[in-house]
Structure 1
Amino acid sequence: MKHLTIIVPDGENNLSSIVGTYKIFTRANAYWKEKSGKELFRIELAGVSKEIDFHEGLFTVRPHTHITAIAKTSLVIIPSLNHNFQSAVKENKLVIEWIEKQYKQGAEIASICTGAFMLASSGLLDGKSCSTHWAVADTFRAMFPKVNLQTDKLITDENGIYTNGGAYSFLNLVIYLVEKYYDRQTAIFCSKVFQIELDRQSQSEFTIFTGQKLHGDDMVQKAQAYIESKLEEKISVEALSSQFAVGRRNFDRRFIKATGNTPGEYAQRVKIESAKKAFETSRKTINEVMYDVGYSDVKAFREVFRKITGMSPLEYRSKYNKNALA
């Protein structure tokens, strides 16, 4: 029998991702037993404290066992943390060392939402792809520059390490893992019982782009402010770099290093974010919004919008603005 360890970290963390993971895997186990006569996983909650409080003591979790009592496991799941990441990493050094050791012994590791901060602290994500909640992307990049952060992705799967996007999208990761470890039929069963959409791969439509501003490069910050103030214009990167008396190649290099985007990509994301807000809150037509954010070619606007959000402008407006359809 395989062994599944659901981590219950010390400090503030997210109860729903622990309970949800436990419930879905328990149900998958029961379904598997009906089919094959035996359970696939022995499921244990493990931590370093006998009891951990949530929501100012309103809820309490008592892990099955201490982390050090598990010599070998097959799959480790790290739940979402609350937002004091540095404190969470300090409080859970023993857990992080244990996770690293288990991976080296052949275990697979999955992190939920901001649990990626614990996983990245182990060094196991260096040079690998990773997702986390889009709202903490800047902080994550600053803390872990060696990790290839991809916040558009809902799930990453690389070398036995899985990560996922934010909040309740952890349910999609758990269904993904159920299919990996059990089979497609069990994943479909669980998706129907818990009413979770199968095969969701992107969190793009939920992202609110604010731009990486925590980098300390004054020239790039001014360039960002300029791009954000000229939504209706088609910005020439050549003209922008000369405005700051910096060569084009050096300008691009500094901009990418600071923000994670090329100047062109950054301008696209700012424009599309503005378009999304217009579709959510106004009755403007697709063409009106397109002109407002500096596009004159419907096909080009549609392609960029879909690339960034995963949806067409019409699909996005229909989903997020019922009034526009009235």
Structure 2
Amino acid sequence: MPEAKWRVALLIFNGAWASTVYGSLELFHSANLRQPQDQQFHCDLLSADHKPVQLYGGHSIHGDSIIGEQAYDLIMLAHYWGDFEEVTQQYPNIPAWIAKQHAQGARIAGINSGIFWAAESGILNGGRATAYWRHLREFEQRYPDVQWQANQASVEHQGIYSSNGQNASMDLSLHLLEKFCGASIAAGLARDITFDSRRIYDLNLINIAGFRQHRDLGIHKAQDWLDEYFTESLELQHLAKQIGMSKRTFIRRFQKATGELPSRYLQRLRVEAAKHRLANTEDSIKTIGMDVGYRDISSFSKVFKSLTDVTPREFRRRLRPAAAGVRNISKSD
């Protein structure tokens, strides 16, 4: 068996939800099965000590290993629903261990309310995250130095990932697979687990999360609107007026906060949504372009290539070779 490229720790503790542990574990295992001669992941169920862990559903399990000096590339923090004060007192060594791992370069992914471990460690101070909606108010009070994003399904901040629900957690796991293994494996696994291609694509909110790393509340409000209505026609004058700015001030502040012009940010949103449709549906390229906000296929293809270096047709061909000949795909991309 070849040595795996990446080491993944799935942290378990009393009260952890088994579904959020094993769902990620099986997804990484599926990635390994796709390339048996080129193993991607070595996964450990990791506990804080040698005691058995009582999962939320009542089952008792032991970890493969306990937290220590072993360095990991990715640490997954299971969802939790219980007394946060009690569980942090049970495991006083977990927060410092997470902080050390993050300092060494590990990516940290909190599945839904599991993100509280990252907040408890201090690595989220001054940063952004989301969590399961039932716990957001408690987290806002418990961790006031974190900007909690109630309306975002998934958030990334400096290598720390978070999600706010069951669907979002699966999107998050697939996004991490894409980060480590590339888009082809991630898209293939998404199809294998029968993702509902009709569901609104949440990953665009992760893939452009770097443009949210600022504290301009007015621009965050504008981004919230764009994230929801990116398929609609945009008039900067109207959007600027909605948030109480002149068009000139809005453009200046948007570019200062995000590093991008509003029009380019909008293009990124549309292209991310189109990438999902190209990978997971048989819709024609023309239909996809119009559905994400473009009036003609020429404009769509030009913008798509400027952001991805390939045309929509080539993007689909790389991820889905068998779809290249589907009869309803437009030939004029």
TM-score by length of 1: 0.58
Aligned residues: 204
1:159-308 equivalent positions in 2, closer than 5 A: 159-197=158-196, 199-201=201-203
Match in the other structure for 1:139? 138
5 Å-filtered alignment, 1:18-97, equals 18-33=21-36, 37-50=37-50, 51-55=52-56, 57=58, 59-68=59-68, 70-97=69-96
The question of whether the paired residues in 1 share the 8 Å contact of 2:74 and 2:107 is answered with: yes
Measured after TM superposition, the shift of residue 88 of structure 1 is 1.7
CA separation of 1:55 and 1:164: change in aligned 2, threshold 3 A: closer
For residue 10 of structure 2, the aligned residue among 6, 10, 15 is 6
- For 1:89, give the aligned amino acid: T
1:278-299 deviation per Cα after TM superposition (whole angstroms, max 9, x unaligned): xxxxxxxxxxxxxxxxxxxxx9
1:28-77 Cα distance to aligned partner (Å, 9 max, x none): 122133xxx211121111112442122464x2222111112x42111111
Change in Cα spacing, 1:56 to 1:151, as seen in structure 2 (3 Å) is closer
Identity score, percent: 21
Q: 2:18 touches 2:57 (CA, 8 Å); kept in 1?
A: no
Are the counterparts in 2 of residues 89 and 117 from structure 1 also a CA contact under 8 Å?
Answer: no
Specify the code of the residue in structure 1 equivalent to 2:145: K
- Comparing 165-174 with 72-81, greater Cα deviation is found at 165-174
Are the equivalent residues in 2 in contact too, given 1:152–1:202 (CA < 8 A)? no
Report the CA distance between 1:168 and its aligned residue. 4.5
Residues 239-264 of structure 1 deviation map (CA, whole Å, 9 limit, x = unaligned): xxxxxxxxxxxxxxxxxxxxxx99xx
**Paired letter, 2:130:** S
In structure 1, the residue matched to 2:296 is: none
Distance 1:38 1:202, change over 3 A: closer
Question: Do the aligned residues in 2 keep the contact of 1:5 with 1:76 (CA within 8 Å)?
Answer: yes
Counterpart check, 1:107 vs 2:109: no
Other-structure match for 2:124: 125
Residues 1:27 and 1:56: Cα distance change in structure 2 (over 3 Å): closer
Residue 197 of structure 1: how far off its partner (Å): 4.9
Structure 1 residues 197 and 160 mapped into 2: Cα distance closer, same or farther (>3 Å)? farther
Aligned to 2:19: 16
Q: Which has the higher contact order (CA 8 A, sep 6+)?
A: 1
Give the AA of the match of 2:55. F
Q: Deviations over 1:105-147 (max 9, x none)?
A: 1111110100111110000001111010112111110001110
Q: Helix, strand or coil: the match of 1:153?
A: coil
Matches of 1:90 and 1:78, distance apart in 2: 17
AA at the equivalent of 1:44: D
Which consecutive residues of structure 2, in runs of 5 or more, have no partner in the other structure?
206-216, 222-237, 244-333
- The Cα RMSD (Å) is 2.6
Deviation of residue 202 (structure 1)? Answer: 8.5
Give 3-state SS (helix, strand or coil) of 2:137's partner: helix
- Structure 2: distance between partners of 1:133 and 1:56: 18
The structure having more radius of gyration, on CA atoms, is 1
Deviation sequence 1:213-241 (CA, Å, 0-9, x none): xxxxxxxxxxxxxxxxxxxxxxxxxxxxx
TM-score normalised to the size of structure 2? 0.56
**How far apart, CA to CA, are the structure 1 residues paired with 2:189 and 2:178?**
10
2:330 aligned partner = none
Q: Distance in 1 between matches of 2:76 and 2:171?
A: 14
* Equivalent position amino acid for 2:202 in 1: R
Q: Which amino acid aligns with 1:13?
A: A
4+ residue segments displaced more than 6 Å: none
Q: 2: CA distance between counterparts of 1:158 and 1:55?
A: 28
CA deviations on 1:7-26 (whole Å, 9 max, x unpaired) are 012x2121110010101011
